[in-house]
Amino acid sequence: MDGRVSYPVIFIGGNMTISTSIKRYLDTAGVSYKEHPHRREVCLRTLERELGLDARYIAVPTILQSDKNALLMTVTPLTYELDLKRLNGMLRRQFSVVTDAEVLSEGLMT
């Protein structure tokens, strides 16, 4: 045993798929995951019930863009809320959330 704990992680995404770089990172880190596409209008808490999973094991990605056009992706459990003000203070940047529509239309993630 290498000390790593393996939890089943499910990435939730509407019409988007997990980017190749994230898949590569998870595979390299030995993280077991499964992608679960869903309709965009479905509430994530509804999916939690439908899948019968603990929300702590459902990962939700959020794409951020800085005032200098740098991109950052956060991945948090469904049970967490991203504190953008705190993150901006820690990184000394002004990030804002990029909507799914912006990600899809501009092809930001591949």
What is the residue-level pLDDT of the chain in tens, covering all 110 positions? 344 444 455 555 555 556 677 778 778 888 777 776 666 656 777 777 877 878 777 777 788 999 998 888 888 887 888 999 999 999 999 999 988 677 666 655 54
Q: Say if CB 7 and CB 55 are below 8 A apart.
A: no
pLDDT score recorded for residue 1 = 38
Q: What is the pTM of this model?
A: 0.60
Q: Which long-range contacts (CB under 8 A, 24 or more apart) does 56-60 make?
A: 57/7, 57/8, 57/9, 57/10, 58/9, 58/10, 58/12, 59/9, 59/10, 59/11, 59/12, 59/33, 60/11, 60/12
Domain boundaries, the chain: 9-106
> What is the tens place of the pLDDT at every residue in 30-46?
877 777 666 665 677 77
For residue 91, the model assigns a pLDDT of: 92
Q: Give a three-class secondary structure readout of 31-49.
A: CCEEEEECCCCCCHHHHHH
Looking at residue 109, its pLDDT comes to 52
pLDDT at 66: 92
